[in-house]
Amino acid sequence: MIRTPLIAIWVVLVTIFFSSSAIIASFITKNGDMSNKIAAIWARFILAESCIKVKVIGLSNIDPSKSYIYMSNHQGNFDIPILQAYLPVQFRWLAKAELFKIPIFGYAMGKAGHISIDRSDRKSAFKSLSNAARIIRNGVSVLIFPEGTRSSDGNIRLFKKGGFILAVDSGVPIVPVVIHGLWPLMLKNRVFVRPGNVLLEIKKPIESAEYTRKTKDDLLKKVRHVICESFYKGIEGLRD
């Protein structure tokens, strides 16, 4: 319990430092790649201090030179640093607008090219999705939590449709990503962090070009099946 307040202080300090660094980097390189690399270092610092070890499998399933829409289950607060640190590709977050209002951190996200979605405004949300589709077609990958928010009980929540509209509009493949073992380490609405092991599993891409807005629900079901099947089956590698 004593470690958790120290971790919280550490997170705040390193976030301020690396967010400031990312803002400076955004003026040096306009594509946001350097800022993304700085964010990966930020994430590794946080995970190291929290004693959370991550193992990655399935990297051979993706081509780093191609653009994808990565979709991951959302287990807790540490999903973001885990994906930022251990998904070794350039990508941008499709994130709720509230995150962009956080002082320094939010400004850094905007300068790095991450995409804001205002879920309280349907018109604004669809405009953001259209902008994201254009960015993806230009060769940039994005990462989405299709559940929209963190799990409250460790199970995978229903998927929202916005990410799948984005997929069929952009025509790029979806890569399901499964985070195993994180739920017991930091539960939603709890402040205590437990050291432990996490497995990040990257599944094979699922083509979206053959789907349309009318058939996007079929694509949603397919992606959800892949993520849920892997998540609930569990992975023995997590115990290594």
Q: What is the pLDDT of residues 87-129, one digit of tens each?
A: 988 888 777 777 777 777 677 677 667 777 776 667 777 777 7
pLDDT at 161 > cutoff 70: yes
The model carries a pTM of: 0.82
Give the pLDDT of residue 72. Answer: 96
- Position with higher pLDDT, 234 vs 172: 172
Residues 53-64, mean pLDDT to the nearest whole number: 94
Residues 80-91 pLDDT 10s: 899 999 998 888
Report the alpha-carbon distance of residue 48 to residue 83 in Å, rounded: 14
Residues 180-224 pLDDT 10s: 998 888 755 555 678 889 999 999 999 999 999 999 999 999 999
pLDDT at 231 > cutoff 90: yes
Distances (CA, A) of 175 to 28, 62, 93, 134, 239: 31, 8, 14, 19, 24
pLDDT at 238 > cutoff 70: no
pLDDT at 169 > cutoff 60: yes
Helix (H) or strand (E) holding 176: strand 174-180
CA-CA-CA-CA dihedral for 35, 40, 44, 47, to nearest 10: 100
Residues 6+ apart with CB under 8 A from 160: 146, 147, 148
Choice among 21-25, 40-44, 185-189 with the minimum mean pLDDT: 21-25
- For the chain, the maximum distance between any two Cα atoms, rounded to a whole number of angstroms, is 52
Percent of the chain with pLDDT over 90: 37
pLDDT band at 1 (very low <50, low <70, confident <90, very high): very low
List of domains in the chain: 3-239 (3.40.1130.10)
